[in-house]
Chains A and B, each alone.
Chain A
Amino acid sequence: MKRVITASLNRNAYQFEEDAYARLEAWLAEASARLAGDPDRTEILADLEQAIADQCTQRLRPHQQVVTLEELQPALDHVGRVETPDVGAAAAPEAPASAGAAAPLKLEQISQGAWISGVCLGLARYSGLDPTLVRALAVVLLFITGGGMILLYAVMMLMIPFAPLDASLPAPGTLPTKCREATLYLRAKFATLTTG
């Protein structure tokens, strides 16, 4: 048996299986972040919610009432990642991926190629150290701190922003994807708490 969550997409109620709901919430959180600075963010998000709802509805079998990942994922793939048109600063976050060395280094988690959530990979890029060395240090610290490292990792995972996914690299593995979604979900929850 699976738990079902009712969610409102563009003011209409839809029912989702729990994992599909988590995926959707993470997708919307990322979309919302990518639209940061867009004056029409709320309206665009409503349009996208409607597009996702339409795509899910089309994929439901007759008499099927609950949206599962099987319908949601192709629906999200159809709608595609949010790309903002080039309006000055709004396009800037895209630049580091292609500009490479010229862009100032930002501390980010890198999901692609990550073992857990990409914290070590991000620290390695930021510090210029070899990822293997950073990971080895983290393992050593794990033993020295008697598990305190786990807490430190969790804090960094929750706080360090995620690098945008680079379409030219292989997609992140299962665990990094789960970490990313869970973190974005928690951040979105936290954001709704703080903004009331």
Chain B
Amino acid sequence: MTDPESKLTPLRKGLLEFLVLKIVGRESVYVPDILRRLAGTEFATQEGTLYPLLSKLRREDLVHYEWRESETGPPRKYYRLTAAGEAQLAVLDEYWTRINHTIAAIGR
């Protein structure tokens, strides 16, 4: 039998992007905020994963960032959704609800 975990990893990897969009969509956040929101969940992640992902989302014009001064250190990047990001998130949310219904309806 194959390890069930090996099937879950790609699923989690794909959903991480969705969750990051959801977190960024609620309020403008910087990376430690996002890490904190995900810590303790199945989607707990690290800067080494998050920065490349945020860069990709920015290239796809789904998020953008602005620099904000910090009292304790150098300026920080605060991320928020673009209009395209909002639209993408709405589509993903709707799709997620739909496949959850489908899964529940098919049952076992």
Q: Give residues in A with beta carbon < 8 Å to B.
A: 10, 12, 31, 35, 38-40, 43-44, 47-48, 50-51, 54, 57, 78-87, 98
Count of A-B contacts judged by CB separation below 8 Å: 56
Contact with A along B15-52 (1 / 0, CB 8 A): 00100000000000001000000000000011111011
**Contact pattern, B 41-78, Cβ under 8 Å of A = 1, otherwise 0:** 00001111101110110110000000000000110010
Q: A81 with B48: in contact, given A10-B74, A51-B31, A98-B6 (CB under 8 Å)?
A: yes
State whether the Cβ of B13 lies closer than 8 Å to any Cβ in chain A: yes
Within the complex, what minimum Cβ distance (angstroms) separates A58 from chain B? 10
Instruction: For A85, give its contact among B56, B73, B74 (CB under 8 Å).
Output: B56
| Chain B facing A: main interface SS | helix
Q: How large is the interface on B (under 10, 10 to 19, 20 to 34, 35 or more residues)?
A: 20 to 34
Taking a contact as CB atoms closer than 8 A, the residue among B6, B48, B52, B74 that contacts A38 in the complex is B52
The answer to whether A78 touches B17, judged by C-beta atoms less than 8 angstroms apart, is no
Q: Which residues of B contact A12 (CB under 8 A)?
A: 74
B74 touches A80 (CB 8 A): no
Nearest CB to that of A84 among chain B residues? B52
A38 to B53, CA, bound (A): 11
Cα A39 to Cα B46 with chains together (Å): 21
Among the listed A10, A38, A51, which residue makes an inter-chain contact with B55, where contact means beta carbons less than 8 Å apart?
A: A38
CA distance A43 to B31 in the complex (A): 14
Assess whether A44 is in contact with B74, with CB atoms less than 8 Å apart: no
Contact yes or no, A44 B52, CB < 8 A: yes
* Shortest distance between the CB of B91 and any CB in chain A (Å): 18
Residue in A10, A35, A44, A98 with the greatest tally of chain B CB atoms within 10 Å: A44
